[in-house]
Amino acid sequence: MGSIADAANKEVNGTASEKRPAVIFVLGGPGSGKGTQCAYIVDHFGYTHLSAGDLLRAEIKSGSENGTMIQNMIKEGKIVPSEVTIKLLQKAIQENGNDKFLIDGFPRNEENRAAFEKVTGIEPKFVLFFDCPEEEMERRLLGRNQGREDDNIETIRKRFKVFLESSLPVIQYYEAKGKVRKIHAAKPIEDVFQEVKAVFSPEAEKVKKNNSCAIL
């Protein structure tokens, strides 16, 4: 007899083949400004923004059995299995009426990447990589934490190290497939968005053109 989790998985997987959304992975180090730029992309190009971290936090807050399991793993310092995060992302995609999504801060490592493609059957259209020098990211993060620079500098540098060790192999994998769109993220917000717009505008025009043809 199948478990509740199996039934939920079956329900999500059963609908996966019916919906083939456009997915863009958004990656960048802490303080690279990707969250701000995601909000701009949502406003200008109509994407839905999904954050793996937000979905995990929402699941914990819901008090579900799954949420309790996630909370206990985080408390014990364990890594939440890729499949758990992926199922939350997949569920959010299936329940949303949109067909184009920004997935922010995921995949965090090669294992996440391989599992996402295997479980969902979805390969990203491309990866939007916010490339920002470590010194600039550090300056931005410390600027957010007024008066707590000495407490946070070590933690911030650990986060940079984790990003470099875990996420760069993912970027390199997609770069080899010609799927990375690198954004120079050290510039002011508006200048960065001009670069982002140049990546998205051809896609937007293509969609617009296809829709016009369909009407004709």
Q: Is 152 annotated as a binding residue?
A: no
Beta strand spans in the chain (E): 22-28, 48-51, 100-104, 126-131, 180-184
Q: Is 80 annotated as a binding residue?
A: yes
DSSP per-residue letters across 126-175 = EEEEEE--HHHHHHHHHHHSTT-HHHHHHHHHHHHHHHHHHTHHHHHHHH
Q: Is 35 annotated as a binding residue?
A: yes
Q: Is 25 annotated as a binding residue?
A: no
Q: Is 75 annotated as a binding residue?
A: no
User: What is the distance of C-alpha 165 from the center of its chain?
Assistant: 17
Q: Is 87 annotated as a binding residue?
A: no
Q: Is 46 annotated as a binding residue?
A: no
The Cα–Cα gap between 88 and 100 comes to: 16
Q: Is 32 annotated as a binding residue?
A: yes
Q: Is 57 annotated as a binding residue?
A: yes
Q: Which residues pair with 24 in a beta bridge?
A: 102, 126
Helix or strand holding residue 40 (H, E): helix 34-45
Q: Is 36 annotated as a binding residue?
A: yes
Q: Is 170 annotated as a binding residue?
A: no
Q: Is 112 annotated as a binding residue?
A: yes
- Peptide bond before residue 107 is cis, with ω within 30 degrees of 0: yes
> Which parts are annotated binding residues?
31-36, 57, 78-80, 105-108, 112, 144, 148, 159, 187
> Which parts are annotated binding residues for a ribonucleoside 5'-phosphate?
57, 78-80, 105-108, 148, 159
> Which parts are annotated binding residues for ATP?
31-36, 144, 187
> Which parts are annotated binding residues for CMP?
112
